[in-house]
Structure 1
């Protein structure tokens, strides 16, 4: 698509931005294009933030619009999409992004909820891949130790701990992204609730929105708890991984009471893990609007 050359006259750009503010979808791209133009050419003379205040666009919104321009091609098919939806599409991996663009071009506009779920699933897969790489590193490290270690020693396994650190970082990033997405969804919902109250929406509709808000709040609290729990488990694994390469457990052969006590601890741990796994949702979660 041919693009019109943008003016370097700041007042003209302000007029164009205010015009496009009144039109949905496509205007997000057009406003973002002009914001990039102002910043890249320093038309605000080092005071880009103050200039944003003048045109009544906050920094977070401006960043999203500017990112959308850089990540998505210009298209009139975006007309019915809002800022949150376009920002979610822009931050997807290239293959997933292209799928959504083709879907929109075919007249099937994804909802914000659908896009958030796609992004969560992508983050989950990234964390899972990091975990699998960690496990592969553990297995490889164990084989190397088995072949090379003749006398008892704790292996100096840099690669294992490096892969474990990377896996933990992947898990932390996953939960961080999940938390940010849920909080963004909560903010959008609060805006809708406020708007509906101002428009005297029926009590039943408002109650549905309040119930959805309560559910989101519960999800955020649960996510925080589970994130801390998983981080603790990963740290435990890292701190205690090397003990499996020593003879400490073998040396218990003469201490029957301690062996039985340890086995009892392991049995209770296994039962606890089985109980938790039994209440976890399966991998094919279907989430409605």
Structure 2
């Protein structure tokens, strides 16, 4: 126990990987070394708040692979650890692409998820209430039908007439209840359509977000490809220059004197072209200059 205490105090002064190491040791102590109720006292002895200890243990449990997460802070890691599993996977993919989230981004995401869940829960509750009201009205209708049947049975049999006429007796509020029942059924149908609409909109928004991330990823790959092609071209030109230099260095003063005027003129022209090209390339290493909003190359 003393060894683990010393290790935790040492790790508390380090960032990154230390978060996971502290969390693992806290879990081990809580599960193996202390009787019930003693863990809190031990945390006080090492000057650690219970809430902070819970965060460390939660992070160590949720993120066993520390390679991806060790550079993030404790607060960010804890906020990610308390996300739903599907959102955790999306955040991990962003981190692997180099897009580290902030605490505000994670808390905003949680707020949006909570708001979405609350809206769906409110809709479900509203539909449930309306369905319950419809069921009550259905039972009322059945009771009205039963009462009508009983009233029909209670009518006295005529003694003189040869034809029996059964009159349906409706309660005073029968038409009002029937109209209300129709209104509730129409409202319930509309609410179900609204729920389906919001679910489709939510899915469409999610698809647009994923498509945007995919487009950004393709642009990043295209930039990497262009950079790689430029590097290949540079190496290719360098190799050609290396092959060309030995041939050029073979020319001696005697060779120049032995050439005819036309050959000398052609050679000098080519040398001037090479020199001009080298000067232009050399100027490009300093980059373009901006003069009054226009881009020019130094020559």
TM-score by length of 2: 0.45
Structure number with greater CO (CA < 8 Å, separation at least 6) is: 1
